[in-house]
Structure 1
Amino acid sequence: MDPRTSAQDVMRCDLYETAVVQMHCDTCLVNLCKTCVGEHISTDESKDHKIVKFQYRKSTPLYPGCTTHSKERCKMYCKQCDFPVCISCLESNQHLSHELSNILRVLDEKKDMFKKGRHELNETIYPTYQDIASDVQNRKSQLEKEYGDLSTVITKHGEDWHRKIDKLVKKLKAEVDKMKNNQLQTLQKNLDEIKSKMSQIKHEINSVKMAVDTNDLSKLLSVTSNVHRYRNLPPKIMISLPKFIPGKCQGKELNKMFGTLVSSSLTSDKHGYRMKTTEKSPEAGSSPPVKQLLDVPETGSSINTEYNEFIYSAACLSDEEIWTRGNDKTMKLYSINKGSLLKSITTKSGNWPSDIAVAKSGDLVYTDYGDRTVNIVKNGKIEKVIGQQNWNPRNVCSTSSGDLLVIMFSYNKQTKVVRYAGSIEKQTIQFDDKRKPLYSSGYYDRYITENRNLDICVSDEGAKTVVVVNQAGKLRFKYIGHTPAQKNRPFNPLGITTDSQSHILTADINNDCVHIIDQDGQFLRYIECGLSEPWGLCTDTNDNLFVVQFRNTQVKKIKYLYSI
């Protein structure tokens, strides 16, 4: 069926409403029956009426009238003057030596430009603003929850001090509410501005659509594309939550003893958001599609490994295979979907491997604390890559560049991170700007990973802290857990991994959960899913999380991000 003639009702003549439409005036955009054609032409004989069959309406270009020569139509376009011109204009020599173009070609180019602009507004800009609005709304909800958690902590601490500090409790809670309201108002203002922009974008989309659909060239030439106004995204409001620092109940300085609030903050990051994209490009690896956290993480299949007592680590070889390390000298490769054992590799020394990783080449890498080596397994053969005399390699990860990051531990209990390109030492990370150790001393577990932004993330069990430095080794932040913890036990970080969104995930064995923080150290949420003593962590290319459960020797698969 021809879409130009199909309709739910019969079209009627604009002059004689009971007659069925048969003709159309492309000049005046009027629907006519055959009887009314003559009457329509005679009403204004000064016009060049283009009468066509109704099904061919809008097929005749409506050339704009010349502003200089009122009876002429402009069929050419002067590029130097950026203006439509008629034959009389050309004969007047006003545009002599100017570059001229057929106006239909110019209009086609403009329509193409408007179509591209409309496509960008529909497919990229507006969806990006939708994501930004959703992000602000989600952070508002999270802010409400965390301020609620903070108020609960303050209330509980106030109950321990009984009636004598009720007045102080109310004062501090009022401060919390004031900070919360201030930040919520700021986020609401931010959200209102974003929604206003979204409304303007919708209006722009409609205006461009009308311009593309019209056959009135004068109207089309009068439309200006404003797509460029919306490419500059709004700044992302960064919020720092206040912290409650409890004091001991002794002495007279009740304000200081009870505890104080560390002031919150509001900052604006103009680079906080990225434009949504629906096309693959060379930069796609550095700007992945935005994935939101699931409201409730979903548990997938579990792999029952064959270790006798304990399992410590896992590393994804692919989306279908995963390496594991337990309490013996054998590293085992399992099928993720079937849970079956595919391959086993025994360490060259017969010692337990301290940690495992998958190199960029796909080869298995393991550290041997006993003989102070880092080894790679190629084609079933074990090759020593790194050997040490005074330092013992403990945990290891492979970077996006193909380097290895190794946590080293010495007999005098010092800890450092060393970057290797093959067997060549490229970088050592051990102290902060004040020459204080970044990592704890002592015989504790420390796991390491690299984020998408090239930050180096270490879970330090000895310090009960996640330490994050940038690519140059400069301290960015430390994460000391989130209050209240799932089981109200001290934060005890072990395995650590990252995902395509630059989230940092760390296993908390004391609280039977996984913490998710963003790339700037802000707590996002816990993953519980019935976990039991989570130890090692890794993710595959689809952002599925694999959690090693220490004592029951299972590897549990968890989905915690929406799929794209």
Structure 2
Amino acid sequence: MDICEALVNKKEAIAQDLNELEKFIFPKYQKSEAIIKSQKADQCKNSKKLTADMKNQKEALLKEIDAIIQGKQIEIDVMDSKHQIALDKQEDAINHTITEIKQVIQDLKSLLGTSDDSIVLNYKSRIEKFRKVPSKFRVTLPKFLPYQTNRDQLLQQFGSLTALSIETEEQGDSVLFLADSVSPPGRPMLDFPRLITDIPTIGNGSITHVSCLTDEEIWIIGNDEILNLYNLQGEVLRSVQTKSGNRPEGIAVTRSGDLLYADYDDRSINLVNGTQVEPLITLQGWKPRGLCSTSSGDLLVIMDSEDVKQTKVVRYTDSKEKQTIYLDDKGMPLYTPGDIKNLSENRNLDICKFYPFGITTDSQANILIADFDDNCIHTIDQNGKLLHYIYRCGLQDPWGQCVDSIDNLLVTEWVTGKMKKIKYYK
């Protein structure tokens, strides 16, 4: 091939490359550039929409709070009016009586100074009706009792963000990449969890269930018929006996701070109101075991059949049965019939079930499981991956568990009757 032919061939190759670049490749890059500009505009628009939506939600919540406050203010005004009317009525009666007494005093003084003996002889005492001192009101002024703010519950009521997904299309094939879920970033765990305090309880051990009312107040039940509310100093703030006298099988604290307990032998779920117990749900042919109050306000109840051959989980809304579950997503029974059963709602709204002994979840959607035999707590993520063990805290036969608002673990011990508060996040 001579130099001229080589030049011709090269020019043809150059022309082909130029043609491909101008007619095919470059237009695709221009289109991609335009798409990216459009996506940037969409991203900016969507970000503003997300911000506006959250602002609207904030205003909606504030509006609800304002409505609640206005309602409470109306209650205050009504109570003030009733109180003022009662005080005014009593004050008017007393002032009227005072006027009468003054007149009687004046009349008696006149009698003492009169020379008319007949008037004196006809005198009849009129002070009997004044001897009874006016009754006074015993007033108990109303107080405002605020619930402790629970950040997790507020977050669930406020709403959540769905995960960002980004697709990369390559030669007609689509590969999907998921960005990190918009949930609280994973908190690092302590290499060696630290015991914060040992909290003694009354009785001789046998503590089975625990549920946090606040960060400072915890409901505990054991192997008797008493439900006890403790503070972190081990002081009993309230004690309530079950209505039937039976040992409660499980407990749960609702979003509003009420305590529920399951009475297995009585086939009932009961509400503790102050020191009084009110039946909430009565079962027919089934006996309740574990309870879970969900973030939506529903109640989940594990229950066994009378012959202890079947187990199911029932969801209640306002004490009305809404859903019944016998099998898991693989078609297997949720539980083996009989004996101990527990369940808990995770932050991602999964329902976690476990046998045996205690189970709870924390703000990171991690699941904590009490290992009674090995005296430790297993920590797994929402997908079932083992993350950590909580041990070296002197645990003895751990059973009931709950976490407070900052993810400190409160765990009860069957043998010692103690409750331990443990820090396991950094």
Q: Same fold (TM over 0.5)?
A: yes
Deviations 1:294-330 (A, max 9, x none): 1211111111111234110110000110010011111
Determine the structure 1 residue equivalent to 2:418.
554
Determine the structure 2 residue equivalent to 1:369.
264
Q: Residue 369 of structure 2 contacts residue 379 of structure 2 at CA under 8 Å; is this kept in 1? A: yes
How big is the shift at 1:453?
0.8
Match of 2:238 among 318, 322, 343: 343
Judged with a 3 Å threshold, the aligned counterparts in structure 2 of structure 1 residues 273 and 434 are, in CA distance, closer, same or farther, namely closer
2:358 match: secondary structure:
strand
Match of 1:505 among 359, 363, 368: 368
Q: Residue 498 of structure 1 contacts residue 505 of structure 1 at CA under 8 Å; is this kept in 2? A: yes
Q: Quick one: distance in 2 between partners of 1:458 and 1:433? A: 13
Q: Quick one: distance in 1 between partners of 2:177 and 2:425? A: 25
Q: Quick one: distance in 2 between partners of 1:322 and 1:272? A: 38
How big is the shift at 1:435?
4.5
Match of 2:190 among 289, 294, 308: 294
Q: Residue 307 of structure 1 contacts residue 328 of structure 1 at CA under 8 Å; is this kept in 2? A: no
Q: Quick one: distance in 1 between partners of 2:362 and 2:369? A: 12
Q: Quick one: distance in 2 between partners of 1:381 and 1:373? A: 15
Q: Quick one: distance in 2 between partners of 1:332 and 1:295? A: 33
Question: TM-score, normalization: structure 2?
Answer: 0.57
How big is the shift at 1:509?
0.4
Deviations 1:400-457 (A, max 9, x none): 011111110113321111111121011111114564322112x320111000111111
What does 1:311-326 correspond to in 2, within 5 Å?
311-326=207-222
Determine the structure 1 residue equivalent to 2:401.
537
Match of 1:358 among 253, 263, 267: 253
Q: Quick one: distance in 1 between partners of 2:315 and 2:279? A: 16
Judged with a 3 Å threshold, the aligned counterparts in structure 2 of structure 1 residues 439 and 269 are, in CA distance, closer, same or farther, namely farther
How big is the shift at 1:270?
3.9
Match of 1:304 among 182, 200, 210: 200
Match of 2:311 among 412, 415, 436: 415
Q: Quick one: distance in 2 between partners of 1:536 and 1:508? A: 11
Judged with a 3 Å threshold, the aligned counterparts in structure 2 of structure 1 residues 500 and 432 are, in CA distance, closer, same or farther, namely closer
Q: Residue 508 of structure 1 contacts residue 534 of structure 1 at CA under 8 Å; is this kept in 2? A: yes
1:416 match: secondary structure:
strand
Determine the structure 2 residue equivalent to 1:471.
none
Match of 1:330 among 215, 220, 226: 226
RMSD: 2.3
Deviations 1:460-510 (A, max 9, x none): 23xxxxxxxxxxxxxxxxxxxxxxxxxxxxxxxx10000000000110101
1:425 match: secondary structure:
strand
Q: Quick one: distance in 2 between partners of 1:524 and 1:269? A: 27
Q: Quick one: distance in 2 between partners of 1:434 and 1:451? A: 20
Q: Quick one: distance in 2 between partners of 1:232 and 1:399? A: 27
Determine the structure 2 residue equivalent to 1:465.
none
2:301 match: secondary structure:
strand
Q: Residue 385 of structure 1 contacts residue 422 of structure 1 at CA under 8 Å; is this kept in 2? A: no
| 1:273 lines up with 2:188 in the alignment | no
Determine the structure 2 residue equivalent to 1:383.
278
Determine the structure 2 residue equivalent to 1:139.
none
1:349 match: secondary structure:
coil
Q: Quick one: distance in 2 between partners of 1:403 and 1:536? A: 22
Q: Residue 307 of structure 1 contacts residue 327 of structure 1 at CA under 8 Å; is this kept in 2? A: no
Residue identity opposite 1:425 in structure 2: E
Match of 1:430 among 301, 307, 326: 326
Q: Residue 208 of structure 2 contacts residue 414 of structure 2 at CA under 8 Å; is this kept in 1? A: yes
Deviations 1:357-416 (A, max 9, x none): 111110111010111000111233211111112000011011001111111011332111
2:347 match: secondary structure:
coil
Determine the structure 1 residue equivalent to 2:289.
394
Q: Quick one: distance in 1 between partners of 2:176 and 2:190? A: 25
Judged with a 3 Å threshold, the aligned counterparts in structure 2 of structure 1 residues 433 and 502 are, in CA distance, closer, same or farther, namely closer
Q: Residue 360 of structure 1 contacts residue 400 of structure 1 at CA under 8 Å; is this kept in 2? A: yes
Q: Quick one: distance in 2 between partners of 1:501 and 1:367? A: 28
Determine the structure 2 residue equivalent to 1:162.
none
Judged with a 3 Å threshold, the aligned counterparts in structure 2 of structure 1 residues 373 and 272 are, in CA distance, closer, same or farther, namely farther
Q: Residue 210 of structure 2 contacts residue 401 of structure 2 at CA under 8 Å; is this kept in 1? A: yes
Q: Residue 290 of structure 2 contacts residue 341 of structure 2 at CA under 8 Å; is this kept in 1? A: yes
Q: Quick one: distance in 2 between partners of 1:515 and 1:269? A: 33
Unaligned runs of 5+ in 2: 1-43, 45-162, 168-174
Q: Quick one: distance in 1 between partners of 2:198 and 2:179? A: 37
Q: Quick one: percent identity of the two aligned structures?
A: 50
Q: Quick one: distance in 2 between partners of 1:270 and 1:333? A: 49
Question: TM-score, normalization: structure 1?
Answer: 0.43
Q: Residue 409 of structure 2 contacts residue 421 of structure 2 at CA under 8 Å; is this kept in 1? A: yes
Match of 2:377 among 514, 519, 542: 514
Aligned residue pairs, count? 256
Residue identity opposite 2:405 in structure 1: T
Q: Residue 165 of structure 2 contacts residue 179 of structure 2 at CA under 8 Å; is this kept in 1? A: no
Determine the structure 1 residue equivalent to 2:51.
none
Q: Quick one: distance in 2 between partners of 1:269 and 1:499? A: 30
Q: Quick one: distance in 2 between partners of 1:379 and 1:553? A: 25
Q: Quick one: distance in 2 between partners of 1:232 and 1:432? A: 29
- Asked which structure has the greater CA Rg, the reply is 2
Residue identity opposite 2:400 in structure 1: G
Judged with a 3 Å threshold, the aligned counterparts in structure 2 of structure 1 residues 300 and 370 are, in CA distance, closer, same or farther, namely same
